[in-house]
Amino acid sequence: MSINKGVFLKQMVYLRRHDYQVMSLEEAVEAMRTGRRVPDNRVALTFDDGHRDFYEIAYPIIKTYRYNVTAFIFTDLLEKESGYLTWSELKELQKDSLVEIGAHSISHKPLTRLSHSEAEREIVMSKSLLEERLGKPVTLFAYPFGALNESIKEVVKESGYTAAVGTAYRRGEFKDEDVYILKRVFVSKLSRYPFIYRFMLSGYYVPARELILRILNIRTPRDAMNY
């Protein structure tokens, strides 16, 4: 995680004390598809990569508060490095109804730097491997580093995923209602400051960041030139 256990716990407590309702990402996607309005106090929690600290630190806290969460996993380093989950731990997580497992490619390389066939393999094989090992459909995808283009988005869509998540991009680059480019708030170390965390939860953070990126003409990581 980008923040320590103490900060994360305080943030989860804040959600409970201030009447935020944690919904699953699948529920949020369904609301977007059907046009159902989501109340301002709804949030969805996601974690990327499959780091061990998710299992050892975040998950026990999430379990205590009964929050839904989606964990996006890239498979290359499972059981190969101590900082990442093992397959048995991942199986344990996916048995919990609070936890949804999503795909995050095989190698975690920016897909825009790969050939079309290489990117397609990363997208398709990560899904099939997780489904084979976990025995459960994998319907959600996270773009490594948020790097994507229209071609990659179409591969994700055609590979059987129902939705995909990225980051915040420059204003106007992608439609807000596209479920294959769901924009997220990266809860960085700055979130340890309460006023920053409240801003992140406000609903204004992503639009503000996108506007700043547009004004300053800064590209977020979505093309090869960004790496």
Please tell me the predicted confidence (pLDDT) of residue 87: 96
Backbone dihedral region of 19: left (phi > 0), alpha (psi from -120 to 50 degrees) or beta? left
Q: How confident is the model at residue 206 (pLDDT cuts 50, 70, 90)?
A: confident
Q: What is the mean pLDDT of residues 113-126?
A: 97
Q: Which helix (H) or strand (E) holds 142?
A: strand 140-142
Give 152-175 pLDDT, tens digit per residue. Answer: 999 999 999 999 998 766 555 667
Lowest mean pLDDT among 26-40, 107-121, 192-206: 192-206
Tell me the pTM: 0.90
Which residues contact residue 111 at a Cβ distance below 8 angstroms, ignoring those fewer than 6 apart?
105, 119, 122, 123, 143, 144, 147, 148, 152
pLDDT at 190 over 90: no
Q: How confident is the model at residue 220 (pLDDT cuts 50, 70, 90)?
A: low
The CATH number of the domain holding residue 106 is 3.20.20.370
Q: What is the mean pLDDT of residues 180-201?
A: 89
Query: Which residue type is seen at 112?
Result: T
Contact call for residues 222 and 202 (beta carbons, < 8 A): no
Please tell me the predicted confidence (pLDDT) of residue 227: 37
Percent of the chain with pLDDT over 70: 92
Split into its structural domains, the chain has a count of 1
Range of the domain at 96: 5-226
pLDDT mean across residues, the chain: 90
Q: Which residues is 204 bridged to in the sheet?
A: none
Radius of gyration of the chain (CA): 17
**Distance between CA atoms of residues 140 and 91, nearest Å:** 17
Query: Cβ of 35: how many Cβ atoms within 10 Å?
Result: 7
For the four alpha carbons of 100, 102, 107 and 108, in that order, the dihedral sign comes to negative
Give 74-107 pLDDT, tens digit per residue. Answer: 999 998 888 999 999 999 999 999 999 999 999 9
Query: Cβ of 17: how many Cβ atoms within 10 Å?
Result: 8
